[in-house]
């Protein structure tokens, strides 16, 4: 987990340069520009949702209700052909709006069936429909595109998105990579249902999110259909391709499980995957009902990825996971997937919670107690990376997957547990998952909920553990 700080690049640097230029233009020109502003400002969708860590991520002015993705991937040439149908609703009048798409070539774009003008500007696919869309209008965008998808490099130096493997592709989009394989409103603030129709060479399997609807082979290719009906953030979508052994069953709770395992990882993965139903049952007892109708795992062999991802309903592992990683990604189904971030700076709501689930699992299954996990971390000296920045305010996109977010985030929850007692603590977690099921949450909302459920003022505790720089004095 590196956290190399990188200088402002690309779009952000361009914005800074533009501001510098504007500062020097003659007053008359500046006045003209300002005058032109209000006339159009209300009709152009913003090029980002305003996330301070990822300013270009997502777009303003519309909500995508549903994505219909039809993809064909050639595992030999690594060429992708795609059609994306976005069913959206305008949240303001729109003469123009953006989608996020990184690389790939767009060959045709229609809005409600009529060809629309489009241009590319970094990750923004800028769309000008023939007629402006009214506020509240439902509309449909169809994008036909193709090319060789490539992962994006994130501020921390990791790669995500469409990552080719020796037998297909490992498709993991956190935080930015969804736009490497489909045009999207690429920020967790926008959640949508999805249908996937994925065609790959016969002998390969293509796995997406949600319920498996069936497969059909013809002319040397197999088409797999998937449906994710509960709302999902774009970064949690996958279309992972490879040679997989598939296992399907339904749990006692009626959850449809689909596991796909690279045969080279099968013997190492088997004893861990066998525990998936009992892990989901244990987490359901603790956090409330499992939020989706489907579950499963994709265990790939993707040696240069270096992380697992909580892809919705079906976490993705770059090699056979250990049990605590399975517990972690499963806990994300409640915390991160069902309850989504509003802003990437709140990432501890995902990673701190999933890490604390590992601690609780260990405590209740004959391993270390959560107190022991806490104490081991607390013993780290003040100069340790654990204390490098506070988890509630990691400071930049380069830090969102760093040790403080995971470990000190979990420590914050442990402090909360000690302050309110086990019964109230579990009630807080369940209420959080229930009240925000399928939608969003913020740190401020979590703090308020914890105070409401416990009847305690917890400002000091959260201030210390989430927001104070350096190693906290023990409470
Ligand atoms: N969210 C993942 C997990 O903890 C980790 C992850 C996703 C990640 N993308 C990443 C870690 C990029 C480092 C870099 O389960
Ligand atoms: Zn995680």
CA distances from 88 to 44, 63, 121, 451 (A): 16, 5, 22, 37
Query: For the segment 96-129, what is each residue's pLDDT rounded down to a tens digit?
Result: 999 999 999 999 999 999 999 999 999 999 999 9
Spacing, Cα 1 to ligand 1 middle (Å): 9
Pick the more confident residue, 144 or 9: 144
Q: Which residues pair with 128 in a beta bridge?
A: 117
Mean pLDDT of 329-350: 98
Per-residue pLDDT band at 10 (split at 50, 70, 90):
very low
- Cis amide linkage into residue 423, ω under 30° from 0: no
Q: Which atom of ligand 1 is nearest to the CA of 158?
A: 14
Q: Which residues pair with 212 in a beta bridge?
A: 226
Sign of dihedral through CA atoms 324, 327, 332, 335? negative
Query: Do the beta carbons of residue 84 and residue 68 sit within 8 Å?
Result: yes
Instruction: Output the pLDDT for position 475.
Output: 60
Spacing, Cα 373 to ligand 1 middle (Å): 21
Q: Which atom of ligand 1 is nearest to the CA of 315?
A: 15
Here the tokens at position 117 are 């003008």
Mean pLDDT of 308-312: 98
Annotate 184-208 with b (16+ C-beta within 10 A) or e (fewer): bbbbbbbbbbbbbbbbbeeebbbbb
Spacing, Cα 140 to ligand 1 middle (Å): 32
The whole-angstrom separation of Cα 72 and Cα 199 is 5
Here the tokens at position 237 are 């979508």
Average predicted confidence (pLDDT) for the chain: 93
Spacing, Cα 295 to ligand 1 middle (Å): 19
Here the tokens at position 218 are 């013809």
DSSP annotation string for 289-327? S-S-SEEEEEE---TTT---B--TTS-EESSPPPHHHHH
For 388, left (φ over 0), alpha (ψ -120 to 50), or beta?
alpha
Mean pLDDT of 2-28: 35
**Best of 156, 234, 307 for a ligand 1 pocket test (most atoms within 8 Å of beta carbon):** 307
Query: Do the beta carbons of residue 154 and residue 397 sit within 8 Å?
Result: yes
Spacing, Cα 358 to ligand 2 middle (Å): 10
Spacing, Cα 346 to ligand 1 middle (Å): 14
Closest C-alpha to ligand 1, atom 12: 158
> How many separate helices (H) and strands (E) can be counted in the chain?
12, 22
Mean pLDDT of 333-361: 98
Query: Do the beta carbons of residue 178 and residue 237 sit within 8 Å?
Result: yes
Query: For the segment 144-163, what is each residue's pLDDT rounded down to a tens digit?
Result: 999 999 999 999 999 999 99
The whole-angstrom separation of Cα 75 and Cα 384 is 43
Mean pLDDT of 163-186: 98
Q: Which atom of ligand 1 is nearest to the CA of 350?
A: 1
Here the tokens at position 207 are 């796995």
Domains of the chain, earliest start first: 21-240 (2.60.40.1730), 340-467 (1.10.390.10)
Mean pLDDT of 350-364: 98
Q: Which atom of ligand 1 is nearest to the CA of 175?
A: 9
- Whether the pLDDT of residue 137 is over 90: the answer is yes
The whole-angstrom separation of Cα 351 and Cα 400 is 9
Closest C-alpha to ligand 1, atom 2: 309
The whole-angstrom separation of Cα 424 and Cα 214 is 44
Spacing, Cα 452 to ligand 1 middle (Å): 32
- Provide the pairing of β-strand 152-153 with 117-121: unpaired
The whole-angstrom separation of Cα 106 and Cα 146 is 7
Name which of 351, 276, 346, 275 is nearest 310 in CA terms.
351
CA distances from 335 to 331, 354, 436 (A): 6, 7, 10
Per-residue pLDDT band at 287 (split at 50, 70, 90):
very high
- Whether the pLDDT of residue 4 is over 60: the answer is no
Closest C-alpha to ligand 1, atom 1: 309
Closest C-alpha to ligand 1, atom 9: 174
- Provide residues with CB under 6 Å of ligand 1: 156, 158, 160, 174, 307-310, 328-329, 351, 401
Name which of 342, 313, 443 is nearest 391 in CA terms.
443
CA geometry: angle 81, 82, 83, nearest 5 deg: 145
Q: Which atom of ligand 1 is nearest to the CA of 308?
A: 15
- Whether the pLDDT of residue 279 is over 90: the answer is yes
Burial of 113 (0-12, 13-18, 19+ CB in 10 A): exposed
Spacing, Cα 402 to ligand 1 middle (Å): 9
Mean pLDDT of 449-457: 98
Instruction: Output the pLDDT for position 28.
Output: 53
Query: For the segment 43-93, what is each residue's pLDDT rounded down to a tens digit?
Result: 999 999 999 999 999 999 999 999 999 999 999 999 999 999 999 999 999
Q: Which atom of ligand 1 is nearest to the CA of 336?
A: 1
Instruction: Output the pLDDT for position 11.
Output: 29
Closest C-alpha to ligand 1, atom 3: 309
Per-residue pLDDT band at 35 (split at 50, 70, 90):
very low
**Total residue length of the chain:** 475
Beginning with the edge strand found earlier in the chain, give each strand of the sheet holding 152-153 in spatial order: 152-153, 159-165, 168-172, 240-242, 205-207
Mean pLDDT of 213-235: 98
Q: What would you measure as the largest C-alpha separation in the chain, in angstroms?
A: 74
Instruction: Output the pLDDT for position 42.
Output: 82
Q: Which residues pair with 199 in a beta bridge?
A: 72, 223
- Whether the pLDDT of residue 21 is over 50: the answer is no
Helices (H), 173-322: 266-273, 276-287
Instruction: Output the pLDDT for position 30.
Output: 47
Instruction: Output the pLDDT for position 474.
Output: 77
Per-residue pLDDT band at 212 (split at 50, 70, 90):
very high
The whole-angstrom separation of Cα 440 and Cα 340 is 4
């Amino acid at each position: 987990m590196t956290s190399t700080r990188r200088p402002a690049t690309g779009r952000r640097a361009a914005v800074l340069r533009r501001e510098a230029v504007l500062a020097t233009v003659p007053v008359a020109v500046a006045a003209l520009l300002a005058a032109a502003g209000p006339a159009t400002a209300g009709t152009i969708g913003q090029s980002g949702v305003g996330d301070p860590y990822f300013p270009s991520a997502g777009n303003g002015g519309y909500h995508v209700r549903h994505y219909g993705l039809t993809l064909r991937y050639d595992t030999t040439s690594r060429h992708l052909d795609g059609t994306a149908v976005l069913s959206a609703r305008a949240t303001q009048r729109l003469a123009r709006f953006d989608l996020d798409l990184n690389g790939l070539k767009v060959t045709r774009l229609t809005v409600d069936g009529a060809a629309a003008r489009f241009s590319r500007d970094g990750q923004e696919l800028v769309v000008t429909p023939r007629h402006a869309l009214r506020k509240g209008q439902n509309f449909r965008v169809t994008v036909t595109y193709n090319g060789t998808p490539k992962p994006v490099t994130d501020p921390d130096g990791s790669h995500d998105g469409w990552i080719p493997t020796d037998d297909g592709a490992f498709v993991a989009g956190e935080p930015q990579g969804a736009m490497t394989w489909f045009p999207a409103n690429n920020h967790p603030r926008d959640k949508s249902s999805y249908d996937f129709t994925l065609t790959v060479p016969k002998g390969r399997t293509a796995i997406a999110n949600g319920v498996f609807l069936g497969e059909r082979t013809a002319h040397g290719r197999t088409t797999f259909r998937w449906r994710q009906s509960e709302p999902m953030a774009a970064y949690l979508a996958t279309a992972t391709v490879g040679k997989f052994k598939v296992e399907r069953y339904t749990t006692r709770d009626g959850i449809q499980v689909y596991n796909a395992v690279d045969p080279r990882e099968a013997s190492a993965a088997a004893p861990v995957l066998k525990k998936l139903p009992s892990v989901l049952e244990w987490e359901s007892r603790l956090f409330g009902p499992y939020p989706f109708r489907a579950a499963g795992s994709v265990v790939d062999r993707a040696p240069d990825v270096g992380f697992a991802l909580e892809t919705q309903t079906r976490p993705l592992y770059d090699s056979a996971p250990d049990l605590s990683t399975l517990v972690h990604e499963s806990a994300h189904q409640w915390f991160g997937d069902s309850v989504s971030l509003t802003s990437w700076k709140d990432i501890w709501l995902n990673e701190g919670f999933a890490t604390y689930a590992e601690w609780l699992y260990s405590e209740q299954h004959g391993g270390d107690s959560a107190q022991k996990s806490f104490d081991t971390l607390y013993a780290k000296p003040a100069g340790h990376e654990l204390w490098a920045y506070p988890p509630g305010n990691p400071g930049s996109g380069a830090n969102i997957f760093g040790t403080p977010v995971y470990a000190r985030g979990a420590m914050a929850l442990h402090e909360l547990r000690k302050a309110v007692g086990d019964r109230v603590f579990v009630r807080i977690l369940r209420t959080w998952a229930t009240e925000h099921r399928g939608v969003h949450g913020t740190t401020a909302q979590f703090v308020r909920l914890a105070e409401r459920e416990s009847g305690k003022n917890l400002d000091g505790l959260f201030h210390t553990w989430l927001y104070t720089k350096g190693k906290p004095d023990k409470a």
